[in-house]
Amino acid sequence: MPTPLRTSLNRTWLLKIALFFVVLAGFGTWGLVDALVLYPRRGEGDASHKLRDYLASAERAGRMSASHVSIDDPQARHRELAARAAELARAARDTSTVAGRQADFELKQFHYLEALSRMWRLEPHRTRFPDPAAKKAELDKWAATAPAAKPLSRYDLPVQWLFVLIGYAGALVLLLTFLRAARRVYHFEPGAGRLTLPGGQSITPADLADVDKRRWHKYFVTLALSDGRTVTLDLLRYKPLEDWVLDMERAAFPERAKRSDAAGLSPTPGQPDAADPNEPRAPVSGPPAPQPRQ
């Protein structure tokens, strides 16, 4: 007995899967680099400038001490100042008064906490300053050569992590699709016309009640069996499964095959089956270009 033939994965389908995998994985990696490196780096620069402004306002308000400048619970303080931000902005317009300088101090404190919040780094170790004067001197020296950084919006990091999720999740789905397809192998015995499915079930031309090609243009065919069961085959992923199905159809329904061959209408995936009265006939001059599916 000759060794049964076996399917292999269609190279066109493999290239398509590989291309989309690379695009999605690259999209996820781009988002990951932004979320872990580029955006935090930009946020750190902006927060450092805002911390310098905050310490300068503390100095003007006469509150340049560790007890006045340090914040033990930055999250609670951020919420409190956020509720008063508009009020503080109005009061801080006139810094010639004690009240105005105090409002400016609290407003600058809010701006610093807001910068930390947008980096998801609103943590106590970033808001405690044992020696605020030394910290300000360090930041003054740094700011002399450091350009101003564009502030992060509150959506920057969430959107980047959404890109990571979409990219890597899509790449994972494609990888699993490839692995499932690679595990499925069809076998065919040309002499007997026997098609063996991945699960072990065998189908011969004598088992066929019909070959449903209504989705042939989408690279699917459904074998209707005489016992009432149906088996749908994917003609795009597996080669040469299409040829085997046509061989089985010719053996099971020779008159139908003769009519199609005589009319020059033997279908190929990408065009409807002209022998099916439910589908439009393709021109004899040539089939339309295949329409690939995902």
pLDDT in tens, 233-248: 999 999 999 999 999 9
Q: Residue 294: pLDDT band by 50, 70, 90 thresholds? A: very low
- Do the strands 187-189 and 5-6 form a parallel or antiparallel pair, or are they unpaired? antiparallel
Mean pLDDT in residue range 189-213: 93
Quickly state the pLDDT bin for 261 (edges 50, 70, 90): low
As a whole-number percent, the residues of the chain with pLDDT over 90 amount to 82
Q: How far apart are CA 134 and CA 154, in angstroms?
A: 31
Q: Check pLDDT > 90 for residue 198.
A: yes
What are the pLDDT digits (tens) for 56-96? 999 999 999 999 999 999 999 999 999 999 999 999 999 99
pLDDT of residue 289: 41
Task: Say yes or no to pLDDT of 281 above 50.
Answer: no
Confidence at residue 263, expressed as pLDDT on a 0 to 100 scale? 59
Confidence of residue 138 (pLDDT cuts 50, 70, 90): very high
The pLDDT of residue 174 is above 90: yes
Q: Report the pLDDT value the prediction gives residue 191, as an integer from 0 to 100.
A: 86
Determine the Cα–Cα distance for residues 61 and 111; give it in Å rounded to an integer.
Answer: 16
The yes-or-no verdict on residue 286 having pLDDT over 50 is no
- Confidence (pLDDT) at 3: 79
Averaged pLDDT, 10-18 = 96
Express as a percent the part of the chain with pLDDT over 70: 87
**Whole-number Å distance between alpha carbons of 168 and 117:** 26
The answer, yes or no, to whether residue 278 has pLDDT greater than 50, is: no
Using alpha carbons, list the distances in angstroms from residue 28 to 19, 82, 120, 170, 174.
14, 33, 20, 9, 14
Question: In the chain, at which residue ranges do the beta strands (DSSP E only) sit?
Answer: 5-6, 8-9, 187-189, 194-196, 202-203, 208-212, 220-225, 230-234, 238-239
What is the rounded average pLDDT of the residues 37-57?
96
Domain limits, the chain: 11-159, 187-263
Does 44 have pLDDT greater than 70? yes
**pLDDT score for 55:** 97
> Average pLDDT of 146-163?
95
DSSP state of 117: H
Q: Using CA atoms, how far apart are residues 187 and 6, in angstroms rounded to an integer? A: 4
- What's the chain's Rg over C-alpha atoms? 35
pLDDT score of 160 more than 90: yes
Question: Residue 279 CB: number of other CB atoms within 10 A?
Answer: 17
The pLDDT assigned to 180 comes to 95
What would the CATH number be for the domain defined by 187-263?
A: 2.40.50
Which whole number is the average pLDDT over 210-216?
93
Average pLDDT for 122-128: 96
Higher pLDDT, 284 or 268: 268
